[in-house]
């Protein structure tokens, strides 16, 4: 099954001025949406937990609009993202037992992990299929880095639901923003030590996340930056011949 649109279909979309503008700066649009959720999450988390799923859905819709996906794939992704958001909301607004609420959250986390894994794959494929690497393309690579940090945060959240002792927190009340903080300090190998993995499974996952984070920066991002610099250093005559 093909995931992306054909070149002719993409050209038709580009013919629309508004869609063409979104396509030109799609990675910048994605990067801005991820940063917005990243920075606003702690603010909305205090007393307004119901808005957090909507913030994630904003990122979902942003991602879908920046990729040249086929309609069937687009609708499937939208359905998965919307369903996970609905489950989060139901878990908070319905008066159900803690065990039933945990079941809603577990299912929603699984959908989020499935969606983010697919998005990371699609964005990477699109980035490395670009004929010309620009600053916007590099922002796409950085966006994948952030998305991977979010993916690991969902994995840790699911792990904590299954085993609350898997990760040791220094704070009395654990919010999702604390889990994101732990994920990104692990991804960047910063590790302040205020949150530590307690089980072998959690420790192995932190090792895997930190290793992938360093490899991603050293190999993939460096490759994109190198390709951009190589293109900018090419003679004008060579660039005109490519066009």
Q: pLDDT (tens digit, 9 = 90+) per residue, 45-101?
A: 665 456 666 777 777 777 777 777 888 888 888 888 889 888 888 887 787 787 888
| CATH assignment at residue 222 | 1.10.287.70
| Domain of residue 138, residue span | 7-233
Domain-embedded: residue 1:
no
**Residues with Cβ within 8 Å of residue 214, at least 6 apart in sequence:** 189
Q: Is residue 241 part of a domain?
A: no
Residue 240 lies inside a defined structural domain of this protein:
no
Rounded CA-CA distance 97/72 in Å is 36
Phi, psi of 35 (to 5 degrees): -65, -35
| pLDDT top residue among 40 and 13 | 40
Q: Which of 113-117, 128-132, 142-146 has the lowest mean pLDDT?
A: 128-132
**Domain tally, the chain:** 1
Q: Is residue 72 part of a domain?
A: yes
Q: What average pLDDT does the structure give for the chain?
A: 81
For 2, half-sphere exposure in the C-beta direction (CA atoms, 13 angstrom radius) is: 8
- Which pLDDT band holds residue 152 (cuts at 50, 70, 90)? very high
How does residue 239 score in pLDDT terms, banded at 50, 70 and 90?
A: very low
> Is residue 224 within 8 Å of residue 141, measured between CB atoms?
yes
pTM reported for the whole predicted model: 0.86
Identify the residue with better confidence: 16 or 55: 55
Instruction: Please report whether residue 166 resides in a domain.
Output: yes
- For residue 242, tell me if it sits in a domain: no
In this structure, is residue 20 part of a structural domain? yes
Q: Is 77 within a domain?
A: yes
């Amino acid at each position: 099954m093909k995931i992306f649109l054909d070149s002719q279909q993409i050209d038709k979309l580009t013919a629309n001025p508004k869609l063409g503008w979104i396509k030109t700066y799609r990675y910048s649009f994605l990067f801005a949406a991820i940063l917005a959720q990243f920075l606003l999450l702690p603010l909305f988390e205090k007393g307004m937990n119901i808005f957090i799923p909507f913030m994630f859905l904003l990122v979902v819709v942003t991602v879908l609009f920046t990729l040249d996906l086929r309609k069937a794939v687009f609708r499937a992704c939208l359905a998965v993202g919307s369903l996970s958001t609905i489950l989060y909301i139901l878990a908070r607004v319905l008066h159900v037992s803690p065990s039933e609420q945990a079941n809603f959250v577990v299912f929603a986390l699984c959908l989020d992990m499935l969606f983010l894994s697919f998005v990371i794959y699609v964005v990477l494929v699109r980035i490395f299929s670009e004929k010309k690497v620009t600053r916007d393309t590099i922002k796409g690579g950085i966006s994948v880095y952030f998305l991977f940090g979010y993916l690991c945060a969902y994995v840790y959240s699911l792990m904590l639901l299954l085993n609350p002792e898997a990760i040791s927190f220094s704070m009395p009340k654990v919010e999702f923003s604390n889990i994101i903080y732990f994920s990104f300090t692990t991804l960047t190998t910063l590790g302040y030590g205020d949150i530590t993995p307690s089980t072998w499974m959690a420790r192995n996952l932190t090792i895997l996340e930190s290793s992938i984070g360093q490899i991603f920066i050293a190999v993939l991002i460096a490759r994109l930056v190198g390709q951009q610099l190589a293109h900018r250093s090419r003679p004008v005559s060579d660039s005109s011949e490519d066009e």
